[in-house]
Amino acid sequence: MPKVFAIVPAAGQGTRMGDAVPKQYIPLAGKPLMLHSLEALAAVARIECICVVLAPGDRHWQRHDWSVLPKVEPVFAGGEHRASSVANGLRHLGSRLGRNDWVLVHDAARPCVRSELVEQFLDEVGDDPVGGLLAMPLADTLKSSDDNLRVASTLPRGRLWRAQTPQMFRHDLLVRGLDARPDATDESQAVEAIGYSAPRLIQGQNTNIKVTFAEDLYLAEMILKRQGRIPG
**pLDDT tens digits, one per residue of 52-62:** 999 999 999 99
Which range marks the domain in which residue 129 is found?
4-173+201-226
58 assigned to some structural domain: yes
Tell me the C-alpha distance between 190 and 185, whole Å: 8
Tell me the C-alpha distance between 185 and 106, whole Å: 13
Identify whether the C-beta of residue 104 lies closer than 8 Å to the C-beta of residue 93. no
Q: What is the CATH number of the domain that holds 166?
A: 3.90.550.10
Q: How many CB atoms lie within 10 A of CB 45?
A: 10
Tell me the pTM.
Answer: 0.94
Tell me the C-alpha to C-alpha distance, in Å, between residue 180 and each of 11, 177, 183, 184.
Answer: 22, 5, 9, 9
> In the chain, how many domains are there?
1
pLDDT tens, residue by residue, 166-202: 999 999 999 999 999 999 999 999 999 998 678 999 9
**Residue 65 pLDDT class (50, 70, 90 cuts):** very high
148 assigned to some structural domain: yes
Q: Mean pLDDT score of the chain, rounded to an integer?
A: 94
Note the pLDDT of residue 21.
87
Note the pLDDT of residue 232.
78
Note the pLDDT of residue 19.
64
Note the pLDDT of residue 14.
60
Q: Is the pLDDT of residue 136 over 90?
A: yes
pLDDT tens, residue by residue, 3-36: 999 999 999 876 566 567 899 999 999 999 999 9
80 assigned to some structural domain: yes
Question: Is the sign of the CA dihedral 11, 16, 18, 24 positive or negative?
Answer: negative
Amino acid at 53: V
Note the pLDDT of residue 13.
75
Note the pLDDT of residue 33.
97
Tell me the C-alpha distance between 122 and 215, whole Å: 31
Tell me the C-alpha to C-alpha distance, in Å, between residue 176 and each of 69, 172, 191.
Answer: 30, 6, 8
